[in-house]
Amino acid sequence: MLRLPKRELTVNFPVHMDDGSVRMFTGYRVHHSTVRGPTKGGIRYHPDVTLDEVRALAMWMTWKCAVVGLPFGGAKGGVVCKPEEMSMNELENLTRRYATEIAVLMSPEGDIPAPDVNTNPQVMAWIMDTYSMHKGYSVPAVVTGKPISIGGSLGRRDATGRGVAICTREALKYLKMDPKACRAAVQGFGNVGGSAALNLSRLGMKVVLVSDIKGCIFNPAGLDIPYLQSITDRFGVVDRSRLRGAEELPGSSWIEQKVDILVPAALEGQVTGETATRIKDTVKILAEGANGPTTPEADVILNDKGIFVIPDILCNAGGVTVSYFEWVQGLQFFFWSEEEINKRLEEIMVRSFNDVLGISQEKNVDMRVAAYILAISRVAEATMTRGIYP
Of 15 and 218, nearer to ligand NAD (C-beta) is: 218
Q: Which residues touch 194 (CB under 8 Å, ≥6 apart)?
A: 161, 210, 225, 228, 229, 232, 236
Q: How far apart are CA 310 and CA 45, in angstroms?
A: 28
Of 50 and 361, nearer to ligand NAD (C-beta) is: 50
3-state secondary structure of 69: coil
In the bound complex, what is the minimum distance in angstroms from residue 86's beta carbon to ligand NAD?
Answer: 17
Q: Binding string, 140-179, against ligand NAD, x = CB under 6 A?
A: --------------------x-------------------
Q: Is 146 a catalytic residue?
A: no
Residue 211 within binding range of ligand NAD, rule CB under 6 A:
yes
Residue 321 within binding range of ligand NAD, rule CB under 6 A:
no
CB 188 within 8 Å of CB 233: no
Q: Which residues touch 3 (CB under 8 Å, ≥6 apart)?
A: none
Binding range to ligand NAD, per CB under 6 A, among 17-25, 127-135, 206-214, 379-387: 206-214
DSSP 294-319: B-HHHHHHHHHTT-EEE-HHHHTTHH
In the bound complex, what is the minimum distance in angstroms from residue 130's beta carbon to ligand NAD?
Answer: 23
In the bound complex, what is the minimum distance in angstroms from residue 187's beta carbon to ligand NAD?
Answer: 6
Q: What is the DSSP letter of 358?
A: H
CB 52 within 8 Å of CB 66: no
Q: Treating both helix axes as pointing N-terminal to C-terminal, what angle do 318-332 and 338-363 enclose, rounded to 10 degrees?
A: 130
Of 15 and 114, nearer to ligand NAD (C-beta) is: 114
Q: How far apart are CA 378 and CA 384, in angstroms?
A: 10
Binding range to ligand NAD, per CB under 6 A, among 4-12, 23-31, 283-291, 349-357: 283-291
Total residues contacting ligand NAD (rule CB under 6 A)? 23
Among 2, 133, 203, 213, indicate the residue that binds ligand NAD (CB under 6 A).
213
Catalytic residue among 40, 64, 76, 206: 76
Cα distances from 105 to residues 32, 117, 144, 224, in angstroms, run 12, 21, 16, 45
CB 111 within 8 Å of CB 73: no
CB 198 within 8 Å of CB 210: no
Binding range to ligand NAD, per CB under 6 A, among 15-23, 189-197, 356-364, 372-380: 189-197
* Farthest-apart Cα atoms in the chain, separation: 67
Binding range to ligand NAD, per CB under 6 A, among 75-83, 105-113, 166-174, 285-293: 285-293
Among 113, 188, 311, 330, indicate the residue that binds ligand NAD (CB under 6 A).
188
Residue nearest to ligand NAD (CB): 190
Residue 291 within binding range of ligand NAD, rule CB under 6 A:
yes
In the bound complex, what is the minimum distance in angstroms from residue 193's beta carbon to ligand NAD?
Answer: 6
In the chain, at which residue ranges do the beta strands (DSSP E only) sit?
Answer: 7-16, 22-31, 39-45, 73-79, 111-115, 183-187, 206-212, 215-218, 247-249, 261-264, 285-287, 308-310
Residues 228-257 contacting ligand NAD, CB under 6 A: 236-237, 251
Residue 267 within binding range of ligand NAD, rule CB under 6 A:
yes
In the bound complex, what is the minimum distance in angstroms from residue 159's beta carbon to ligand NAD?
Answer: 7
Nearest 5°: phi and psi at 275? -70, -30
Q: Give per-residue burial for 58-71: e unless 16+ CB within 10 Å, then b.
A: bbbbbbbbbbbbbe
Among 77, 83, 179, 319, indicate the residue that binds ligand NAD (CB under 6 A).
319
Residue 294 within binding range of ligand NAD, rule CB under 6 A:
no
Exposed/middle/buried for residue 85 (C-beta within 10 Å: 0-12, 13-18, 19+): exposed
Of 73 and 190, nearer to ligand NAD (C-beta) is: 190
In the bound complex, what is the minimum distance in angstroms from residue 271's beta carbon to ligand NAD?
Answer: 12
Residue 78 within binding range of ligand NAD, rule CB under 6 A:
no
In the bound complex, what is the minimum distance in angstroms from residue 116's beta carbon to ligand NAD?
Answer: 7
User: Checking DSSP bridges between strand 111-115 and strand 39-45, what pairing results, if any?
Assistant: parallel
Of 240 and 386, nearer to ligand NAD (C-beta) is: 240
Q: How many CB atoms lie within 10 A of CB 361?
A: 11
- The set of catalytic residues is 76
Q: Which residues bind ligand NAD (CB under 6 A)?
A: 160, 187-193, 211-213, 236-237, 251, 265-268, 289-291, 316, 319
